[in-house]
Structure 1
Amino acid sequence: MSLIFRVISLVVCPFWWSCGRFETAPARKRNGTPDWGLALGCSSSLFWRIIMVMTTMSLAPTIVSRTYSVGRALLGSLFLFSGLLKIGSFAAYSAWIASAELPSPDLLLVVTIVIEIGGGLTLISGWNARLGALLLALFLVPTTIIFHGFWRADPADFMNQLNHILKNVSILGGMLVVFAIESSRMQARVP
């Protein structure tokens, strides 16, 4: 029964509270029986208000926590798969790094793979996610500028590089959000 009230409160409560549908009159009856649709949507009985508010308040932290964990894991999976793909195409990625005229492309690629897989695993598992998010955020900035400079791309590749910059800036924003949330969690744990 509690689950039913929670589902009802998630769907009904925010809508009817925001549009003023909770009226002071009791639910109307049809043929002598209560109209439960009206009772759920229009009744302002103390019982329904208490049920709606209590279940919404008790469920919200759980939903936020689970949603955050799923979102953090999805961000981490992007880096994990990217690192694993780089292992499979080591020579091609090494040549791409060399084309950017960076020294020691093989070493830089190994460091990149370690950062992407390690950072991705920290975000997926939640273990040391704050450090993983910070490391990946710091990794994204030079990588984006060096490899996705739309300002120096030819006209045919301009939009592709611009999309990569926008994607990486969005991912950087996600890393900053994870870093901030994990920092606040860490501060909450410290007495």
Structure 2
Amino acid sequence: MDVLILIGRILFVVLFLSSAVGHLTQTKGMSQYAASKGVPSPYWATFGSGVLLLVGGLMVLLGIWADLGALLLLVFLLPTAVLMHGFWSQKDGGARQQEMIQFNKDLALAGAALMLFVFFAYAGSDLGLTMTGPLFSIG
């Protein structure tokens, strides 16, 4: 079972780690897009979210306080869904549909990150193939 959980962690963080690379290597261009969405301090928000994605993704991947890593990803996903993918404000049907898909994707991933947090915090040290136990304890 430990190997399957490790495979799941790897598959889960691929999106976040690749996004972190984009946020950190293309900060200027991505911050212009964030500015167009009305994000305050778009350069620093883009850079900061890249760091959040990188740290959270690596924590989940490596099993270093993976529960905290999952919470960091949740902290990224919820505001991103609302600030960056406000489908309700789109006039064009195609753009509305694309934003709704991205909004729902972020919400689904936020739900998965929340479940991972609980999973790691509940399983504690019984969960193998991690470098540390969880930071939090549930149950």
**TM-score range normalised by the length of the shorter chain:** 0.7 to 0.9
Match of 1:76 in 2: 13
In the alignment, the residues of structure 1 paired with residue 56 and residue 19 of structure 2 have an alpha-carbon distance, to the nearest angstrom, of 11
Letter in 2 for 1:165: F
Runs of at least 5 residues in structure 1 that lack an aligned partner in the other structure = 1-63
Does residue 171 of structure 1 match 2:109?
A: yes
Q: Which runs of 5+ in 2 are unaligned?
A: 127-132
Tell me the CA shift for residue 70 of structure 1: 1.1
- Tell me which amino acid in the other structure corresponds to 2:46: L
TM superposition shift of 1:87: 2.4
Residue by residue over 1:73-96, the C-alpha shift from the partner in whole angstroms, topping out at 9 and shown as x without a partner, is: 211221111010222322210101
2:51 corresponds to 1:114: yes
Equivalent runs, 1:88-103 vs 2, <5 Å: 88-103=25-40
Q: Displacement of 1:167 after TM fit?
A: 1.1
8 Å contact 2:80–2:106 — kept in the other structure? no
Aligned length: 127
Q: Would you say the 8 A contact 1:134–1:179 is kept in 2?
A: yes
The runs of at least 4 consecutive aligned structure 1 residues that moved more than 3 Å come to 187-190
Does the aligned pair in 2 maintain the 1:74–1:124 contact within 8 Å? no
Question: Which of 1 and 2 has higher RCO (CA within 8 Å, sep 6+)?
Answer: 2
Task: Supply the distance in 1 between the matched residues of 2:76 and 2:33 (Cα, whole angstroms).
Answer: 17
- Kept in 2: contact 1:77–1:124 (CA 8 A): no
Question: Which residue identity does 1:158 align to in structure 2?
Answer: R
Is structure 2 residue 57 aligned with structure 1 residue 126? no
Inter-partner Cα distance in structure 2 for 1:87 and 1:147: 18
TM-score normalised over the length of structure 1 = 0.61
Match of 1:57 in 2: none
- Which is higher, the Rg of structure 1 or of structure 2? 1
Offset at residue 101 of structure 1 (A): 2.2
**Alignment root-mean-square deviation, CA:** 1.8
**Is 1:161 aligned with 2:99?**
yes
Amino acid at match of 1:121: L
TM-score (norm 2): 0.83
